[in-house]
Every structure is written in structure tokens, then in C-alpha cells.
């Protein structure tokens, strides 16, 4: 049974903090599972990612936030998905990812002549479906 103090603290915790904590814990557990399955140490992962072992340790102990870029790099190095974004049409999300990748790669030469994926329009609604 929870103490009254613990219950009060939980009741006063903002919903976004609860969600963040849950997501962070899920990510850390997932990364640990993958590392265990692939027999990868924190030290070897750090070397592959060109990071200090202390940074990997901080990520996996909750002392340092992941960025989307660090999560993408983790996923690339581990070779398996870490995050899944729910909802939407996968074909449309894939087209949007390709478009955004193209924009990113051509960021020095921004123009109206991007190679838009088939079916992609200039309408804001299409851009809101990013994954």
C-alpha cells in the first residue's frame, strides 16, 4: 500500500512528466534487451557510436536525455528498431520521411524544386503526418 505522501506526489505530478518517465523507461529497457541479445557491452556500443562510455552509461541510467538523433544513431548501430510511431498510413509516412530527408540533404540549396515523393503535395496536412 502506498503512503499518503507518495500518493500525493503522484497525484501532483504533471501528466507530461509521467509520460516522459514511462517512455524513457521503455527505451532504456529496450536498449538493454537488445544489447543483452546481441552480447554488446556499453563500452563496445560507445566505441561504435564514437561516444564516451560514460555518456552511454548516463543514457541507460536516466541521467542524460536521449535526443532523436542519438536514438536514431542507437537504432542504426544496434540494427533493430527502438521506437515505433503509431498511427497513419505507412506508405504516406515513408514518402514524408523521404521528402524530409531530401530537404535535409539539400538544406544548403533550398528551392521550390524538391523531388517530392509521389502523391506528396505542398499542403500543410501532408507535412503533419511525419513519423
Per-domain boundaries in the chain: 4-78, 90-127
Q: Which fold has domain 4-78?
A: 434 Repressor (Amino-terminal Domain) (1.10.260)
- Report residue 64's pLDDT band, with 50, 70 and 90 as the boundaries: confident
**Residue 71 in grid coordinates:** 536514438
Check: CB of residue 49 under 8 Å from CB of residue 56.
Answer: yes
User: DSSP letters along 1-26, please?
Assistant: ---HHHHHHHHHS-HHHHHHHHHHHH
Residue 56 burial by CB count (10 A; 0-12/13-18/19+): exposed, middle or buried?
buried
Tens-digit pLDDT profile for residues 26-49: 999 999 999 999 999 999 999 999
The answer, yes or no, to whether residue 129 has pLDDT greater than 50, is no
Tell which wins on pLDDT, 94 or 5.
Answer: 5
The answer, yes or no, to whether residue 66 has pLDDT greater than 90, is no
Distance between CA atoms of residues 4 and 25, nearest Å: 25
- What does the pLDDT read at residue 119? 55
Amino acid at each position: 500500500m502506498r503512503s499518503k505522501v507518495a500518493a500525493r506526489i503522484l497525484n501532483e505530478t504533471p501528466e507530461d512528466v509521467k509520460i516522459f518517465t514511462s517512455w524513457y523507461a521503455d527505451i532504456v529497457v529496450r536498449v538493454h534487451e537488445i544489447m543483452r541479445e546481441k552480447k554488446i557491452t556499453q563500452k563496445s556500443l560507445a566505441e561504435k557510436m564514437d561516444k564516451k562510455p560514460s555518456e552511454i552509461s548516463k543514457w541507460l541510467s536516466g541521467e542524460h536525455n536521449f535526443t532523436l538523433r542519438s536514438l536514431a544513431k542507437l537504432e542504426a548501430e544496434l540494427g533493430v528498431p527502438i521506437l515505433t510511431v503509431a498511427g497513419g498510413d505507412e506508405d504516406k509516412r515513408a514518402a514524408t520521411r523521404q521528402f524530409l530527408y531530401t530537404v535535409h540533404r539539400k538544406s544548403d540549396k533550398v528551392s521550390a524544386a524538391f523531388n517530392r515523393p509521389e502523391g506528396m503535395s505542398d499542403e500543410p496536412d501532408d507535412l503533419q503526418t511525419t513519423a
